[in-house]
Amino acid sequence: MEIKSENRCFGGVQGVYSHASEACGCDMTFGLFLPEMAKDMEVPVLWYLSGLTCTHENAMTKAGAQAWAAEAGVALVFPDTSPRGEGVADDEAYDLGKGAGFYVNATEAPWAPHFRMWDYVAEELPALIGQEFSLDMERQAITGHSMGGHGALTLAMGLPGRFRSVSAFAPITNPTQSDWGRKQLGAYLGADESKWAAHDASLLMREKGFDGPVLIDQGGSDQFLHLLKPEALAEAMAAKRQAGSFRTQPGYDHSYFFVSTFMEEHVAFHAEALYA
Amino acid sequence: MEIKSENRCFGGVQGVYSHASEACGCDMTFGLFLPEMAKDMEVPVLWYLSGLTCTHENAMTKAGAQAWAAEAGVALVFPDTSPRGEGVADDEAYDLGKGAGFYVNATEAPWAPHFRMWDYVAEELPALIGQEFSLDMERQAITGHSMGGHGALTLAMGLPGRFRSVSAFAPITNPTQSDWGRKQLGAYLGADESKWAAHDASLLMREKGFDGPVLIDQGGSDQFLHLLKPEALAEAMAAKRQAGSFRTQPGYDHSYFFVSTFMEEHVAFHAEALYA
């Protein structure tokens, strides 16, 4: 693991690190914020998964999460959203290929060799950071924005017992029924739609739910509402009697101005579960 | 108007009053809590509509709302749930007739002469309390439980501009599709289902929404989930991009132990809108 940068931040350290990823078959970069409290003890971890076109850096610089994580004594991990590098397949569209990994393990050409973001976030990166930093990997929570909200929800429900709480900002909730999803799941997983279901938060919610609290914030003036389909997840949560809140925040759009506005409440929500 | 009782309560007065109701064609009784602050100024009003089998008294004694209303400087009104008295039609079932007015104006025999709870709560009682008490009727909000949650939501959306905020505890959300609704709307309004739509919160939400914040709490272990159908309202709120929160509270049932647990947050929610 290589240290790309480390900056003092709210009494702790905001670092950027790279490593050779076996899952993705390329070098991967991630951000990690370690609060001051980690000097004295292993701290719990909150994963933040980013949206389309993002790298590890967007949320690290724009979400304003470190202030609240420092206060709560929670580490933040900011993975990249896809494999990177010259040998990695890509597409001209912003929503397929690099920057658009969708947190799945691709089985189809040309994506299968590198696009294994599920394994990367679920297995390889947790093992690495648990080894390298002062983290209590028994206490993890997960959140994300847009495609990253999709990732957070599908990982949380797909890995029962792993995360104590899950939240999302304007998540893609029903990708099997959306142009943000059908194209990508088809490309990465193939035409057999039965293989897509494990990557659809609304289907997972209806079928399995999540064994812990769920918090969803959705901007009421989000320009991508027709792609995000928040009503699918809201209905599924209520039908499943899922512990949690689905909130529509009027006037907010899809940007990090929205995410940063509600970040304090999301970090506090996770901290309550992580320190319960 | 006759004073049935007045008790000092959290520095204010919890009163019970009766009056000859023109809307209902009978004497009606209601509870009203006036916080101490009302001595010096007109205070805003929070309506609390009760559920099946209740009178004005249940919430007044079991919901624990006065503590928070006193702190917030908000009056509470507790109407009865139906007309009362010997000349008033009734049914042997607990969910039709007395104690089950469903907040509609009945048009069908034998209910039409007295069962006009919509007019009573929307017109007659506000006029009376606005005249008799130190209340600012320009600042009203509304909540309720179960059938009363249905009433709160349908009145709030049916009277645009009247209420600044609306909340509900375990409301009947979709009575046109539930055994808590089809029987009663059929009896009170007749077989023409097009007349029922104005009394279905999920249909109103999808069509009109509410011009203010909405807060819904639903117990996850509510014994009446199949009748309340919370998923219909949750989906409609999200689809309408309605400002507000839909929350499922795990383990809570349909009782006042549930209502009282979350009453502080509901009163604070309304106070924020009423004192904005």
The parts of chain A modelled with pLDDT lower than 50 are none
Q: Count structural domains, chain A.
A: 1
> Which residues does chain B have within 8 Å of residue A242's beta carbon, measured at their own beta carbons?
220, 248
A234 Cβ under 8 Å from any chain B Cβ: yes
Q: How close is the nearest chain B Cα to the Cα of A215, in Å? A: 9
B246 Cβ under 8 Å from any chain A Cβ: yes
Buried b (16+ CB within 10 A) or exposed e, A150-159: bbbbbbbbbe
> Which residues does chain B have within 8 Å of residue A218's beta carbon, measured at their own beta carbons?
238, 241
Contact B238 A248 (CB under 8 A): yes
Nearest CA to B144 out of B154, B159, B136 is that of B154
Helices B230-240 and A230-240: angle between axes, nearest 10 degrees? 160
Q: Three-class SS string for B157-193?
A: HHCCCCEEEEEEECCCCCHHHCCCCHHHHHHHHCCCH
Count of H-run helices and E-run strands, chain B: 10, 9
Residue B81 CA: distances (Å) to CA of A79, B84, B114, B133, B230: 55, 9, 12, 22, 22
Picking from A235, A245, A247, the nearest residue to B231 by CB comes out as: A235
Distance between CA atoms of B79 and A242, rounded to whole angstroms?
Answer: 33
> Which residues does chain A have within 8 Å of residue B246's beta carbon, measured at their own beta carbons?
234, 237-238, 245-247
By DSSP bridging, strand B244-249 and strand B214-219 are parallel
| pLDDT on residue B217 | 98
Distance between CA atoms of A44 and A38, rounded to whole angstroms?
Answer: 9
> Which residues does chain B have within 8 Å of residue A235's beta carbon, measured at their own beta carbons?
231-232, 234-235, 238
Contact A245 B245 (CB under 8 A): yes
Nearest CA to B145 out of B71, B219, B198, B91 is that of B219
| pLDDT on residue B97 | 98
SS3 assignment, position B38:
helix
Chains A and B form CB pairs within 8 A to the count of 76
Q: How many other CB atoms sit within 10 Å of the CB of residue A275?
A: 13
| pLDDT on residue A57 | 96
Q: Name the residue range of residue B156's domain.
A: 2-275
Q: Which residue of A has its CA nearest to B249?
A: A243
CB B209 within 8 Å of CB B157 = yes
| pLDDT on residue B92 | 96
> Which residues does chain A have within 8 Å of residue B250's beta carbon, measured at their own beta carbons?
241, 243
> Which residues does chain A have within 8 Å of residue B243's beta carbon, measured at their own beta carbons?
220, 248-250
The CATH number assigned to the domain holding A85 equals: 3.40.50.1820
Q: How many other CB atoms sit within 10 Å of the CB of residue B133?
A: 20
Q: What is the DSSP string of A96-149?
A: SBTTB-TT-B--STTTTTT-BHHHIIIIIHHHHHHHHSSEEEEEEEEEEBTHHH
Tokens (6 digits) for A117 = 């973001």
Contact A247 B245 (CB under 8 A): yes
Strand-pairing partners, residue A29, are: A18
Distance between CA atoms of B268 and B67, rounded to whole angstroms?
Answer: 11
Per the annotation, the verdict on A255 as an active-site residue is no
Task: Please identify among residues 108-137 of chain A the ones whose CB lies closer than 8 Å to any CB of chain B.
Answer: none
pLDDT tens digits in sequence order for chain B, 276 residues long: 999 999 999 999 999 999 999 999 999 999 999 999 999 999 999 999 999 999 999 999 999 999 999 999 999 999 999 999 999 999 999 999 999 999 999 999 999 999 999 999 999 999 999 999 999 999 999 999 999 999 999 999 999 999 999 999 999 999 999 999 999 999 999 999 999 999 999 999 999 999 999 999 999 999 999 999 999 999 999 999 999 999 999 999 999 999 999 999 999 999 999 999
Per the annotation, the verdict on A222 as an active-site residue is yes
Q: What is the pLDDT of residues A214-250, one digit of tens each?
A: 999 999 999 999 999 999 999 999 999 999 999 999 9
> Which amino acid is present at B69?
A
Distance between CA atoms of A82 and A98, rounded to whole angstroms?
Answer: 5
> Which residues does chain B have within 8 Å of residue A265's beta carbon, measured at their own beta carbons?
none
Q: Which residue of B has its CA nearest to A215?
A: B247
Nearest CA to A78 out of A93, A63, A95 is that of A63
Which residue, among A227, A248, A258, would best test binding to B if mutated, counting the most B CBs under 10 Å from its CB? A248
Contact B238 A230 (CB under 8 A): yes
B238 Cβ under 8 Å from any chain A Cβ: yes
Tokens 């209601």 belong to: B30
| pLDDT on residue B203 | 98
Nearest-Å Rg of the Cα atoms of chain A is 17
Distance between CA atoms of A62 and A65, rounded to whole angstroms?
Answer: 8
State phi, psi for A207 to the nearest 5 degrees: -85, -45
| pLDDT on residue B34 | 98
CA–CA–CA angle B167, B171, B174 (5° rounding): 120
Tokens (6 digits) for A129 = 């950071």
CA–CA–CA angle A189, A195, A200 (5° rounding): 95
Contact B241 A233 (CB under 8 A): no
Nearest CA to A43 out of A125, A162, A138 is that of A138
Which residue, among A215, A222, A228, A231, would best test binding to B if mutated, counting the most B CBs under 10 Å from its CB? A231
Contact B234 A238 (CB under 8 A): yes
Q: How close is the nearest chain B Cα to the Cα of A121, in Å? A: 29
Q: How many other CB atoms sit within 10 Å of the CB of residue A201?
A: 32
Q: Where are the alpha helices (DSSP H) in chain B?
A: 57-62, 66-72, 117-119, 125-132, 147-158, 182-189, 201-207, 225-228, 230-240, 256-274
Distance between CA atoms of B150 and B201, rounded to whole angstroms?
Answer: 6
